[in-house]
Amino acid sequence: MNIKNNNELLKKIETVAVILKPKAPELKNVFLKIKENFESVGIKVLLGKSSAKMIGRDCGVEFSELCEKSDFLLTVGGDGTLISAVRRSFKYNKPVLGVNLGTLGFLTNILPDELSSFLKDFKNNKYKIDTRMMIEASINMNDSVAFNDVVITRKSISHMVNIEAKVDGKLFNSYYGDGLIVSTPTGSTAYNLSSGGPVVYPFTEAFIVTPICPHSLTQRPLVLPAEFELELSTPDKEGAVVIIDGQDIYEIMQGEIIKIKIASKKAKLIRKEKLDYFDVLNTKLNWGQI
């Protein structure tokens, strides 16, 4: 497992592409204020086409063009909005800044009323870009990327699922229960955590393999180096369901194999210069509270 510090900064800060939380037309005024903040420091604002349509504006840009013409992306919403943008912009390798309108906000650490002061530091290169490991998953001949996790689970709530797991082609475990989570370190504080898995420092490169409600009490979470390639399948006639980051769903048949490996590129998240991960854990999870 390798932990590396990233000192990269943006080569230029001229254009931002804004993506708003879907199905939230009430964000129109929030967007207008954000646009004003960016333009006040000389940064041009582009708005995604679906976001523009949602708030009744005709200035929207298709997502591919949005990525090509911008220096970085800005998401307005919660962690889910940011994760979706990171996955969709994967091939463009664009850094993403998240403005938090959600509740927990592990990844979106800037509030709307903090944006103006952050942008002053941002323009003076007083910020950081964190790199986070992502997962590449091959499912039914489709390749997908995951920021948080790949989950294989049962099709029916009334049945458990058998999952056979291999590492570099060798069977290492057979799971029987509600399913299995393969998580990135960043995703360790998501579904993995609620299923009893460990919290892993987000700049680590590793897979966290956590069974969901296993039938056997001896089945425990496992942390594996990211150099391994995992293969998951089910011998069940009913097959199983694969869920990528809680956003994309695939059905697999008996014996079909899901191949999982570390992605060829990392996600890039823009953040405040002074932000400590353990402070985030203390704030978000109430660690250290009595």
Active site residues: 79
Strands (E), the chain: 15-20, 44-48, 60-61, 72-77, 96-100, 127-132, 135-139, 142-146, 149-153, 161-167, 170-177, 179-183, 206-212, 222-225, 230-233, 240-244, 248-252, 258-262, 267-272
Cβ pair 17, 65 in contact under 8 A:
no
User: At which residue do the structure tokens 């199983």 appear?
Assistant: 240
φ/ψ (deg, to 5) at 78: -115, -165
> Angle between the 115-123 and 28-40 helix axes, to the nearest 10 degrees?
30
Say how far apart CA 21 and CA 54 lie, in whole Å: 10
CA–centroid distance for 110 within its chain: 17
Say how far apart CA 253 and CA 1 lie, in whole Å: 33
Q: What angle do CA 139, 141, 143 make, to 5 degrees?
A: 60
3-state secondary structure (DSSP) of residue 138? strand
Closest listed residue to residue 28, CA positions, set 55, 54, 61: 55
The per-residue DSSP string of 155-176 comes to SSTTS-EEEEEEETTEEEEEEE
Closest listed residue to residue 35, CA positions, set 49, 54, 15: 15
Tokens read off for 131: 């790199």
